[in-house]
Amino acid sequence: MQTSLRRKLLSSLAAPTGLLLAIAGAVAYGTAKGMVGDAYDHNLLNLAHAIATHVHPEADGLNLRLSSEVEAVLRSDTQDRIYFRVRDLGGRLLGGDAALPLLDDSDAASALPVPYSPVGRETPQPPRAPSTRPLFRDLVHAGEPIRALRLYRETPAGGYYVTVAETLVKREAAMDRLLLGFVSAGALLLLAAGIAAGLGIPSGLAPLERLEESLRRRAGTDLSPIDPKAVPDEVREVVRALNGLLERQRNASARQREFLQDAAHQLRTPLAGLQMQLELLESRPLDEAARHRLRVSVARVIRLANQLLALARAEAGGRLVADASEVELTALIDPLVEDWIERADARAIDLGVEREAVRMVGDPTLLQELIANLMDNALKYCDEGGKVSLRCAREEGQVCIEVDDDGPGIPREVREQVFERFYRHAGTRASGSGLGLSIAREIVRGHGGSIAIDDGPDGRGTRVRVLLPIDGHHGKTAGR
């Protein structure tokens, strides 16, 4: 089911925007959490260093000289409880909270590596010295989660551990505020993106809506092109394609108007003559000559009407040939031969027909009309006692149809014009409507072939040469 472009744009923007905001929020939250943790851990480290300054060596070992007032200051905090403990390497408590959990001495981060000695040359190693690096751990004390730090310090009188810990109230409160800030910022960003999309998408689609309104207001006869500069770049090619369609429709309408005007003009004279012949026949009903002239006039009108219909059908050949079938050309030629022979005998014309069994894809009615028109022209304009020949054969993967006559021929300067509708050369003696070659050209175009006029055999008369693709492919441009 098709959806609106606006809805599709909104749905396309919503998913990636929401995903990017979630990823950005998670990254920012993780970074801020690390920074907050590092800041509070640094405070713990400062506190441990401050306590270490109160440890002094004495004759019987190490001693923590920490007054109650100083201890109260060290433990003071408005939100968290502060714990500390100082003990020497022997485990003797020097001061602080004895119940505070011990941090693991075996932790890799709190011990120095053992020196390497080759196999077979083992020597006694001194005990592993504790690392002077601070060791942080998350522990539980008195039923509450705490963050603990153990710091090792070395003195001439021996080493000692300072352990400092605090509850997590400040940390959790800070992370809650950060989380609320990130969620609020994300919500505001989503709201801003929604507002921007809600305002920006209609603004971006406004040229399309104006184009739609412009097309809706157009009259059915208005086929003028649309200005591509008035639309966004993204739909400019669509507008160009639409302009091409409008131009083709405009040309088709112009051809249709010209055809109707030409048809009306060409039918006016024979119909007037037919009316006059009828009036004469009414006044002299037994006049055989009047009857003959009436029959000739009727035949001329029928022939002209048939040619006009054939021309209209040929100009729509592209649509008619689109679903064409395979055609045997000899089956189209044979029914016409008898009529050609009668016409040729009446004027003592030497008629020759050479045809091969050639098959091609096309419209049988149009192809037969093509051959009939070419032969009609040749028999009509050939001199009495002359020669007319038809050749139909396969030639280099195409169908070749050639019609030769040794009549007066067509001058080179007018060979392009004779394909125009109703055109008749000034030196033409025979009567006709001037539609035969126009019909032939349109049929050839519809089948994707070419048609050309040349001199006849031995440089006399006319040769009309037609080449048609056997497979009915319409990729070629018809010649004239």
434-471: pLDDT as tens digits: 677 888 888 888 888 999 999 888 788 899 999 999 87
Q: Quick check: 433 pLDDT over 90?
A: no
Highest mean pLDDT among 260-264, 341-345, 471-475: 341-345
| pLDDT at residue 112, as a whole number | 36
Helices (H), 61-168: 68-75
Residues of the chain within CATH 1.10.287 domain(s) are 220-315
Q: Minimal CA–CA distance to 141: which of 167, 162, 103?
A: 167
**pLDDT category, 110, cuts 50, 70, 90?**
very low
Of the ranges 118-132, 150-164, 176-190, 408-422, which one carries the lowest mean pLDDT score?
118-132
| pLDDT at residue 236, as a whole number | 78
Instruction: Please check whether the domain covering 5-111+129-175 is classified as CATH 3.30.450.
Output: yes
Q: Minimal CA–CA distance to 151: which of 87, 75, 213, 83?
A: 87
Rounded to an integer, what distance in angstroms lies between the CA atom of residue 210 and that of residue 107? Answer: 73
| pLDDT at residue 264, as a whole number | 64
| pLDDT at residue 476, as a whole number | 42
Token code pair at residue 385: 């006692």
Kindly state the average pLDDT of the residues 122-136. 67
Of the ranges 185-189, 218-222, 237-241, 461-465, which one carries the lowest mean pLDDT score?
218-222
Token code pair at residue 256: 């249709």
The topology under which CATH files domain 220-315 is Helix Hairpins (1.10.287)
Helices (H), 284-328: 288-315, 317-321
Q: Quick check: 366 pLDDT over 70?
A: yes
Rounded to an integer, what distance in angstroms lies between the CA atom of residue 414 and that of residue 442? Answer: 18
| pLDDT at residue 85, as a whole number | 93
Are residues 434 and 424 in contact, defined by beta-carbon separation less than 8 angstroms? yes
Residues of the chain within CATH 3.30.450 domain(s) are 5-111+129-175
pTM: 0.46
Q: What's 168-193 look like in SS3? A: CHHHHHHHHHHHHHHHHHHHHHHHHH
| pLDDT at residue 373, as a whole number | 86
Q: Quick check: 194 pLDDT over 80?
A: no
Kindly state the average pLDDT of the residues 224-230. 79
| pLDDT at residue 312, as a whole number | 64
Token code pair at residue 37: 């943790």
Q: Quick check: 1 pLDDT over 50?
A: no
Residues of the chain within CATH 3.30.565.10 domain(s) are 320-469
Mean pLDDT across the chain: 79
Are residues 439 and 314 in contact, defined by beta-carbon separation less than 8 angstroms? yes
Q: Quick check: 87 pLDDT over 50?
A: yes
Higher pLDDT, residue 248 or 341? 341
Termini Cα distance of the chain: 48
Alpha-carbon 73 to chain mean position: 73
pLDDT digits (tens, 9 = 90+) for 48-80: 999 999 999 887 788 888 888 888 888 888 889
Higher pLDDT, residue 212 or 178? 178
Burial bucket for residue 213 (CB in 10 Å: 0-12, 13-18, 19+): exposed
Of the ranges 145-159, 301-315, 347-361, 400-414, which one carries the lowest mean pLDDT score?
301-315
Kindly state the average pLDDT of the residues 290-314. 68
| pLDDT at residue 119, as a whole number | 46
Q: Quick check: 2 pLDDT over 70?
A: no
Higher pLDDT, residue 239 or 108? 239
Report the percentage of the chain scoring pLDDT > 70.
78
Kindly state the average pLDDT of the residues 353-369. 88
Could you tell me the CATH superfamily of domain 320-469? Histidine kinase-like ATPase, C-terminal domain (3.30.565.10)
Kindly state the average pLDDT of the residues 243-261. 75
| pLDDT at residue 163, as a whole number | 93
Q: Quick check: 162 pLDDT over 90?
A: yes
Q: Quick check: 4 pLDDT over 70?
A: no
Report the percentage of the chain scoring pLDDT > 90.
22
